[in-house]
């Protein structure tokens, strides 16, 4: 039990400190009686050390001090972008699409999904702020510190200005100005004298193939379901009790609707997003694409899926408006798939943003740094 606790506490330490402290604690626990102490004293000591250890110290983290603020800022910005994507999606779909004429259980499940997604976005936003604050604390220059603090204050001002009832009209505007100022100073910092470190990362074919095939399968599923939904399921949900042929006939008669342009638009949408996803998957399966690590593949695939779902709105706009004009109802989507896809899209884009920020840390082992020096 003591050993398990020590191993767990060692896992909390930065990479280069883990092995050293675990062996030290194990030796201390084994010899505690010899020193007239109890083994649990060692566990308590390890607990405090794991909480107070200076994680930024290159000797422990293996990460040069100058890279730490950049890594934290990148992760923080990824998380804040993910939160923003979900919250903007929530706003654009007016709190999530509610399927029409669907069973109450399905509607309740979708609403619960919406609340969970928003809760996740808020948690991601808070963790992002913590990361950016950490980056600002360890930043080397004042310009970098100010730029990172603006990355927190700017979006917070926009959110407060938009959410607080009776907030002055200029508050969100001020927030956007602060965000722009943060971005411009951030670009100035990145374009500064210190080059950005890059680490060559590669993956084996065995690591790449599952992500490549999974990404391609997700895209195919989205395109097939999205296209069928747009042409069949959504019209049926909007005009219940009527078959698709009758719906199209009525639309043609009353609104001059022609199915052909919608079919062409849908085909273009499907091909436009499926072909790049399949090409990326094929490239990843090829032996020479070692640089396409699972993380990079996932970023590309999730970004493609998110973009495809977002732009489906424009593909379906014409048929939606025609349904609205023909039957005197709203033009908004009403099927279960239409309600579900935005969450898939938001989570895909949010996942891509987080993965983009979550580049593995550059670890320089002491021996390597000695050689480099």
Partner 1 sequence: MTPLARLTPATVDVLRVLLDDGASVWGMLVIKRTGRPAGSVYPILERLEAAGWVASSWEPDTDRSGPRRRLYELTGDGAEAARSAVARFDAVKARPASRLSGAEARA
Which stretch in 36-44, 227-235, 241-249, 289-297 sits in contact with partner 1 by CB under 8 A? Answer: 36-44
Beta carbon nearer to partner 1, 56 or 127: 56
State how far Cα 28 lies from the chain centre.
43
Instruction: Give the C-alpha distances (Å, rounded to integers) separating 45 from 14, 21, 35.
Output: 17, 11, 15
Q: How many CB atoms lie within 10 A of CB 348?
A: 26
Contact string 37-56 vs partner 1 (x = CB under 8 A): x---xx-xxxxxx--xxx--
Among positions 7, 8, 11, 35, the unique one binding partner 1 when judged by CB under 8 A: 35
As measured in angstroms, the least distance from the Cβ of 42 to partner 1 is 6
Beta carbon nearer to partner 1, 57 or 140: 57
DSSP state at residue 241: T
As measured in angstroms, the least distance from the Cβ of 64 to partner 1 is 16
As measured in angstroms, the least distance from the Cβ of 2 to partner 1 is 13
As measured in angstroms, the least distance from the Cβ of 9 to partner 1 is 11
Which residues 6+ apart lie within 8 Å of 18 measured at CB?
A: 10, 11
1 forms part of the interface with partner 1 (CB under 8 A): no
Which residues 6+ apart lie within 8 Å of 33 measured at CB?
A: 39
Question: Nearest to residue 76, comparing CAs of 360, 354, 361?
Answer: 354
95 forms part of the interface with partner 1 (CB under 8 A): no
Number of residues binding to partner 1, judged by CB under 8 A: 26
8 forms part of the interface with partner 1 (CB under 8 A): no
SS3 287: coil
Q: At what angle do helices 259-285 and 317-327 cross, to 10 degrees?
A: 150
Among positions 32, 109, 183, 283, the unique one binding partner 1 when judged by CB under 8 A: 32
Q: How many CB atoms lie within 10 A of CB 276?
A: 16
Among positions 8, 59, 122, 221, the unique one binding partner 1 when judged by CB under 8 A: 59
Question: Nearest to residue 160, comparing CAs of 269, 17, 152?
Answer: 152
- Output b/e per residue, 292-328; b: 16+ Cβ within 10 A: bbbebbbbbbbbbbbbbbbebbebbeebbebbeebbe
26 forms part of the interface with partner 1 (CB under 8 A): yes
Beta carbon nearer to partner 1, 58 or 351: 58
361/115 Cα distance (integer angstroms)? 33
Beta carbon nearer to partner 1, 48 or 188: 48
As measured in angstroms, the least distance from the Cβ of 40 to partner 1 is 9
What the block records as the tokens of 213 is 């095939």
30 forms part of the interface with partner 1 (CB under 8 A): yes
57 forms part of the interface with partner 1 (CB under 8 A): yes
Among positions 23, 243, 253, 368, the unique one binding partner 1 when judged by CB under 8 A: 23
The footprint of partner 1 (CB under 8 A) covers 20, 23-24, 26-28, 30-32, 34-37, 41-42, 44-49, 52-54, 57, 59
């Amino acid at each position: 039990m003591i050993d398990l606790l020590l191993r767990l506490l060692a896992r909390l330490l930065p990479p280069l400190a883990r092995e050293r402290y675990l062996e030290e604690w194990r030796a201390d626990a084994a010899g505690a009686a010899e020193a007239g102490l109890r083994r649990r004293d060692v566990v308590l000591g390890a607990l405090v050390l794991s909480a107070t250890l200076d994680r930024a110290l290159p000797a422990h983290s293996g990460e040069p001090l100058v890279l730490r603020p950049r890594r934290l800022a990148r992760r923080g910005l990824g998380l804040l972008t993910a939160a923003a994507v979900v919250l903007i999606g929530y706003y654009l779909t007016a709190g999530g699409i509610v399927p029409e004429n669907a069973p109450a259980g399905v509607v309740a499940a979708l609403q619960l999904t919406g609340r969970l997604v928003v809760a996740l976005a808020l948690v991601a936003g808070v963790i992002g702020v913590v990361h950016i604050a950490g980056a600002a604390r360890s930043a080397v220059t004042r310009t970098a510190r100010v730029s990172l603090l603006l990355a927190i204050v700017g979006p917070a001002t926009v959110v407060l200005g938009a959410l607080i009832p009776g907030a002055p009209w200029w508050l969100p505007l001020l927030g956007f100005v602060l965000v722009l100022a943060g971005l411009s100073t951030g670009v100035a910092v990145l374009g500064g004298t210190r080059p950005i470190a890059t680490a060559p990362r590669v993956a084996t074919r065995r690591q790449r193939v599952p992500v490549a095939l999974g990404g391609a399968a997700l895209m195919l599923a989205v395109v097939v379901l999205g296209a069928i939904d747009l042409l069949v399921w959504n019209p049926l949900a909007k005009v219940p009790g009527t078959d698709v042929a009758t719906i199209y006939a009525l639309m043609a008669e009353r609104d001059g609707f022609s199915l052909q342009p919608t079919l062409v638009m849908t085909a273009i949408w499907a091909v436009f997003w499926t072909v790049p996803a399949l090409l990326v998957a094929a490239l990843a399966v090829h032996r020479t694409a070692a640089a396409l690590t699972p993380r990079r593949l996932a970023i590309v695939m999730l970004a493609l899926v998110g973009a495809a779902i977002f732009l489906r709105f424009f593909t379906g706009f014409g048929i939606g408006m025609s349904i609205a004009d023909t039957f005197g109802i709203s033009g908004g989507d009403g099927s279960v798939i239409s309600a579900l896809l935005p969450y898939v899209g938001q989570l895909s884009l949010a996942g891509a943003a987080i993965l983009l920020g979550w580049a593995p840390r550059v670890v320089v082992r002491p021996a390597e740094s000695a050689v480099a020096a």
